[in-house]
Amino acid sequence: MSSTVDVNWQEIHAQAVELLSEYIRINTTNPPGGEEAGALFLRGLLESEGIPCRMHDAGDSRVSISARLEGSGGSETSPLVLLSHIDVVPAEAEHWDVDPLSGAVVDGTIWGRGALDMKCMGIMELLVMVLACRHRLPLKQDLVFVAVADEEEGGLMGVHYLEREAPELLRSSWIFNEGAYGFREFMGKPTRMFGVAPSEKSPCWIRLRTHGEPGHGSVPHSKNSLVALVKALARIEEREKRARLTAPVEAMLNTLKGQGFLPEDLDPRDDATLEALGELDPFLHAITHDTVTLTGVHAGSKHNVIPVNSESTLDCRLLPGTNPDDFVEELRSVIDDPGVELEVVLQHDSGQSSMDTPVTQVIGEVLEERYGNDVCVLPMLSPGFTDSHAFRKAGGHAYGFTPALLSREELSTIHGHNERMSVENLALGTEVLFEVTRRLACSGPSAR
Q: Cβ 442 to Zn ion, closest distance in Å? A: 29
Cα(44)–Cα(323) distance, integer angstroms: 44
Total residues in contact with Zn ion, by rule CB under 5 A: 3
Q: Cβ 295 to Zn ion, closest distance in Å? A: 19
Identity of the residue, 328 or 414, whose beta carbon is nearer to Zn ion in the bound complex: 414
The answer to whether the beta carbons of residues 306 and 213 sit under 8 Å apart is: yes
Rounded to a whole number of angstroms, the distance between the first and last alpha carbons of the chain is: 11
CA 368, 353, 278: angle at the middle one, nearest 5? 85
Identity of the residue, 273 or 386, whose beta carbon is nearer to Zn ion in the bound complex: 386
Beta strand 174-177 pairing with 420-422: unpaired
Amino acid at residue number 105 = V
The answer to whether the beta carbons of residues 78 and 171 sit under 8 Å apart is: yes
Q: Cβ 210 to Zn ion, closest distance in Å? A: 34
Give the SS3 label for residue 223.
Answer: coil
Q: Cβ 199 to Zn ion, closest distance in Å? A: 16
Separation in Å, CA 425 to CA 104, 115, 293: 16, 11, 33
Cβ-Cβ contacts under 8 Å for 18 (sequence gap 6 or more):
none
Identity of the residue, 83 or 127, whose beta carbon is nearer to Zn ion in the bound complex: 83
Stretch that binds Zn ion, among 36-44, 88-96, 118-126, 229-237 (CB under 5 A): 118-126
Site string for Zn ion, 69-108 (x = CB under 5 A): ----------------------------------------
Q: Cβ 118 to Zn ion, closest distance in Å? A: 4
Stretch that binds Zn ion, among 73-81, 109-117, 256-264, 397-405 (CB under 5 A): 109-117
Amino acid at residue number 86 = I
Stretch that binds Zn ion, among 48-56, 71-79, 113-121, 122-130 (CB under 5 A): 113-121
Identity of the residue, 123 or 306, whose beta carbon is nearer to Zn ion in the bound complex: 123
Identity of the residue, 118 or 306, whose beta carbon is nearer to Zn ion in the bound complex: 118
Identity of the residue, 239 or 417, whose beta carbon is nearer to Zn ion in the bound complex: 417
Identity of the residue, 117 or 419, whose beta carbon is nearer to Zn ion in the bound complex: 117
Identity of the residue, 142 or 152, whose beta carbon is nearer to Zn ion in the bound complex: 152
State residue 79 phi and psi, 5-degree precision.
-70, 165
Taking each helix axis from N to C end, the angle separating 119-134 and 423-443, rounded to the nearest 10 degrees, works out to 50
State residue 152 phi and psi, 5-degree precision.
-70, -15
User: Counting contacts by CB under 5 A, is residue 147 touching Zn ion?
Assistant: no
Q: Cβ 117 to Zn ion, closest distance in Å? A: 4
Cβ-Cβ contacts under 8 Å for 318 (sequence gap 6 or more):
201, 202, 203, 204, 290, 324, 327
Q: Cβ 346 to Zn ion, closest distance in Å? A: 17
Identity of the residue, 117 or 435, whose beta carbon is nearer to Zn ion in the bound complex: 117
Chain positions 160 to 179 lying near Zn ion, rule: CB under 5 A, are 178
3-state secondary structure 217-259: CCCCCCCCHHHHHHHHHHHHHHCCCCCCCCHHHHHHHHHHHHC
Site string for Zn ion, 176-195 (x = CB under 5 A): --x-----------------
Identity of the residue, 57 or 153, whose beta carbon is nearer to Zn ion in the bound complex: 153
> Which of 35, 36, 87, 117 contacts Zn ion by CB under 5 A?
117
The answer to whether the beta carbons of residues 246 and 320 sit under 8 Å apart is: yes
Give the SS3 label for residue 227.
Answer: helix
Q: Cβ–Cβ contacts within 10 Å for residue 444, how many?
A: 20
User: Exposure of 366 by Cβ count < 10 A (0-12 exposed, 13-18 middle, 19+ buried)?
Assistant: buried
Q: Cβ 447 to Zn ion, closest distance in Å? A: 32
> Which of 82, 86, 118, 157 contacts Zn ion by CB under 5 A?
118
* Residues engaged in binding Zn ion (CB under 5 A): 117-118, 178
